[in-house]
Structure formats: C-alpha cells, structure tokens
Structure 1
C-alpha cells in the first residue's frame, strides 16, 4: 500500500496495490499494523455501509461530537464518489479548510478522515456502495453535522447543485460559524 498526505494535516489517501490478471484482481484492503505505523494508531470498532441509488446524492457533512468522536476509513465498493473531509478542530490553523479525493471501486483507494473532521461525499454513479470503518460506535446524541453548501467552507461539488439528492437532515445542518 502507498499513501499521500494533504496540505491539511490529518487526512490521508491510501492507495492499495491491485494485483490483477484475466480473472480480475486481488488487493489487501486493510492491515492493522501497517495502518497504525503509517497513518494513525487507532482501533476500528464498527463497519458501516451505504447504498445511494441516484447520481448526485450528497451525504454529509457529518461528524460525532466529543466524548465519542469518530475517525473514518472510507472506500467505495461499487461506483464512485467525490469524498470530502473538512477540518473542524477548534483552534486549528486550517479550521474550515477541506480536502477531497475521488474514490472508486475500480481503483480501491481509501480516504482516512480522522477525528476532528466533518465528512461527506457525493455519488458520481448510480447505485454507489460506500463502506467505512469507524473508530467509535455510532452515538445518536453526539451525531452532528455542518452544511454541505456553506460558502465559508466553499466545497466545489462536482454536480449541478440544483439536482443534488439530500436527506431532510442534511438540508438543515448548521453553518461552520456555529462551531467557533
């Protein structure tokens, strides 16, 4: 596996080695010791998976508040997504800045979204399946979010925003300024 860091400290893009032949491919998707050595020393406690039927489905920007923040290791099992992590760490020099990567089933890349970042993605293909490992169990009382279209963040989503498919929850998330 290889990895790249971003200008915003914390997130990483992990690129597994695909070994392919006429039958298809094999890849190591996750190795605990490698992840701890090269990315972050964390323990994953839950796996989550979502299916988004329509192109342009935006999920996020989501995070969990203290005392149960979550880090997420995200990969796309079917289709492709535009994946985003936004720094929401109080006092961070890069507060409000974001990083992105296009993840696809074909490439197998994964995005590490550490604690202190809001996470969201936009589907680029129909029937997209996203799988992610998390470092803390889901906690409804600590579930929180930030508006995906907050101009103070300025994410450039790769779709016509008038056609974005959103949950009712994601339509009314607060602005980043509410976290300061």
Structure 2
C-alpha cells in the first residue's frame, strides 16, 4: 500500500447506494483525487492538483450527483481530462513564448531595416577615391599593406583615405537621419 495515498484510494469503490450529495462526494473523494492526479501526472501538475480537484467538482455541480454509479471513475475521468488540457495549454504557451523570443519585434525590425538603409546611403555618398579604400578594408578585410599594394598607394595614404571615408560616412549618416550629434 502506498503511504502517500489516503486509505480511500486503496479500497474498492463499493456501491453508491448512499447517494451522497456533492458535499459528501467532495469530502469523501477529494484527497484521493488529488493524490491520484499527482501520481498519474507527476511534477507537471504538482502545484495545480488542488485547483484541478476543485475544477472537477465545479464541473459536476450542475449535475445530479445522486445518480452517479461509479464516482471514483467519473471523478478521475473529469480530472484527467482537465489535467491533460492544462498540460496541453502550457505546452502551447511555451512554444509560443519561444517563437516570440526568436522573432524580432516588428517595430524593432523596421528600425533595424531603416538603420541599414541609412548606413548604405551614407556609404554610397563617400567620394570615389575614399570609397575604394573603405570597401576593401571594411568589406573585404584587407590590411593597409594589401590595399596599398592593390591601389598603388602608400600605407600612409591608405590610412588617410580611410579616415576621410569614415568621416564622410558619419557626416552623411547624420544628415540622412536628421541627427547632428554624429
């Protein structure tokens, strides 16, 4: 015999000749029902077992409880269905929460898209002699020496042109976005 379960849980169901009303039904089977829910569904509903027991009896309240022939079977069926629904709703909420975390906020995505567009426009406004050096450094990852060799410049000229390119891009971006702080 399981020491965690009330004695009622281990006894045969017996007849329902007494025709208890809902209050007696609750007093007689509520501890057993809570223990059976915890046993069947485990940790998934541990904190909600008492609420499920209450909801089970609330579902039976509109019905004539004097006509129930096998109260334990009925109570367990209703409570099991409620527990299954609860676990299913939790799973859906969890999946939804994970999906929301993976998807960026639409306003944030729009702001990011606008920022990207402003950066592209700012880069396109860099004068030609500086643009080549900027693109080779920032997008192709070439070193100053490699850029100097490729463009026929000195390393010092590459550094100077890159500084001018960044300066133009920042001014252009500030002008495009309406900000004067950059």
Normalised by the length of structure 2, the TM-score is 0.18
> Which structure would you say has the larger RCO, counting Cα contacts within 8 Å and 6 or more residues apart?
1
> Which of structures 1 and 2 has the bigger CA Rg?
2
Q: In proportion to residue count, which structure has more helix?
A: 2
Q: In proportion to residue count, which structure has more strand?
A: 1
Normalised by the length of structure 1, the TM-score is 0.18
